[in-house]
């Protein structure tokens, strides 16, 4: 199978797109190689920017006909629908595992349960509430924050995955992404995000976001290794949710750094 060239670039982008969104582009790219799955993470920030662009465009249109508080609820619904609620599910499962298990094996087993527990439901409710509050508090230059929010969250998953052990001995959906992720892929993903942040927030704002986002992502990885024995797709989804919410809550301060 081709590992380089334009066709490989397109293939890895489509792999990332289909994994991160509910929007079908091309269904021919099945049975990817492990290395392709890892290289597809290069595109996570770019796909986040595309999702952010859809949110920003929706915000402009909806603001013409709806009050702000309704627009913010609809934006949350749009993002959840575009991503199949993948990261919200990961956050709820992670919280249930942390709350209900005394050992890493027990916590992982709880995370496998398709039912949501009381702690997971409460955490999800609070996360959605904080997301709404963050959107409400955004200043008039909110389009910048909407554009970058999904990109920063998805980049955090790349940073959190690098050189991290996978928790499940039997394997799982995220294992091949994590096992074969190279430093060069992380670097390219970071450069893509940094370019966007430089243009929108300036050098200081971009540096603050990259440093704080990186610390948050690696902290989540350390917590996952401590309590689960490694990371999983669910803990990476939780990382995305937490970083996106922090991004929204810190939005006014970040815009002030320009």
pLDDT of residue 8: 80
CB 196 within 8 A of CB 132: no
pLDDT (average), residues 165-171:
86
Instruction: Encode pLDDT of 173-202 as tens digits.
Output: 778 788 889 999 999 999 999 999 999 889
pLDDT of residue 29: 53
Which of 21-25, 28-32, 92-96, 107-111 has the lowest average pLDDT?
Answer: 28-32
Compare 217 and 2 and report the one with higher pLDDT: 217
Of 58, 239, 65, nearest in space to 156 by CA: 239
The model's pTM: 0.93
List, in sequence order, every residue forming a beta bridge with 166; answer none if it has no partner. Answer: 231
Confidence of residue 2 (pLDDT cuts 50, 70, 90): very low
pLDDT (average), residues 58-66:
97
pLDDT of residue 3: 45
Phi first, then psi, for residue 171 (nearest 5°) are 90, 175
Q: Which residues, at least 6 apart from 119, have a Cβ–Cβ distance to it below 8 Å? A: 95, 96, 98, 99, 100
Question: How far is 69 from 34, CA to CA, in rounded Å?
Answer: 43
pLDDT of residue 28: 62
Which of 5-19, 69-83, 135-149 has the lowest average pLDDT?
Answer: 5-19
Using the 8-state DSSP alphabet, how is residue 180 labeled? T
Q: Which residues, at least 6 apart from 232, have a Cβ–Cβ distance to it below 8 Å? A: 108, 111, 166, 167, 168, 172, 174, 224
Confidence of residue 36 (pLDDT cuts 50, 70, 90): confident
User: In this model, does residue 23 exceed pLDDT 60?
Assistant: yes
In the predicted model, what is the mean pLDDT of the chain? 91
pLDDT (average), residues 97-122:
92
pLDDT of residue 1: 37
CA dist 87 to 75, 94, 165, Å? 16, 10, 20
Confidence of residue 7 (pLDDT cuts 50, 70, 90): low
pLDDT of residue 80: 96
pLDDT of residue 257: 75
Q: Which residues, at least 6 apart from 20, have a Cβ–Cβ distance to it below 8 Å? A: 44, 47, 48, 51, 83, 86, 154
Where along the chain do its domains lie?
Answer: 43-255
Q: Which residues, at least 6 apart from 49, have a Cβ–Cβ distance to it below 8 Å? A: 147, 148, 150, 151, 196
């Amino acid at each position: 199978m081709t590992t380089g060239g334009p066709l490989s670039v397109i293939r890895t982008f489509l792999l990332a797109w289909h994994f991160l969104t509910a929007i079908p582009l091309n269904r021919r790219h099945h049975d990817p190689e492990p290395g392709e799955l890892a290289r597809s993470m290069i595109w996570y920030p770019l796909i986040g920017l595309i999702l952010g662009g859809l949110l920003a465009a929706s915000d402009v249109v909806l603001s013409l006909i709806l009050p702000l508080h309704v627009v913010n609820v609809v934006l949350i619904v749009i993002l959840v629908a575009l991503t199949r609620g993948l990261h919200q599910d990961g956050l709820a499962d992670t919280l249930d595992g942390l709350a209900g298990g005394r050992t890493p094996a027990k916590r992982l087993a709880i995370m496998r349960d398709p039912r949501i527990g009381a702690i997971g439901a409460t955490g999800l409710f609070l996360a959605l509430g904080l997301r709404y509050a963050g959107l409400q508090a955004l200043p008039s230059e909110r389009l910048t924050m909407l554009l970058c929010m999904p990109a920063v969250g998805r980049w955090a998953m790349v940073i959190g995955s690098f050189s991290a052990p996978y928790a499940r001995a039997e394997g799982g959906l995220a294992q091949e992404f994590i096992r074969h992720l190279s430093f060069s892929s992380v670097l390219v993903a970071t450069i893509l995000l940094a370019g966007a942040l430089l243009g929108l927030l300036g050098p200081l704002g971009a540096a603050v976001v990259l440093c704080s986002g990186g610390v948050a992502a690696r902290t989540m990885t350390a917590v996952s290794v401590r309590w689960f024995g490694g990371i999983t797709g669910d803990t990476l989804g939780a990382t995305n949710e937490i970083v996106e919410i922090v991004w929204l809550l810190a939005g006014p301060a970040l815009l002030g750094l320009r």
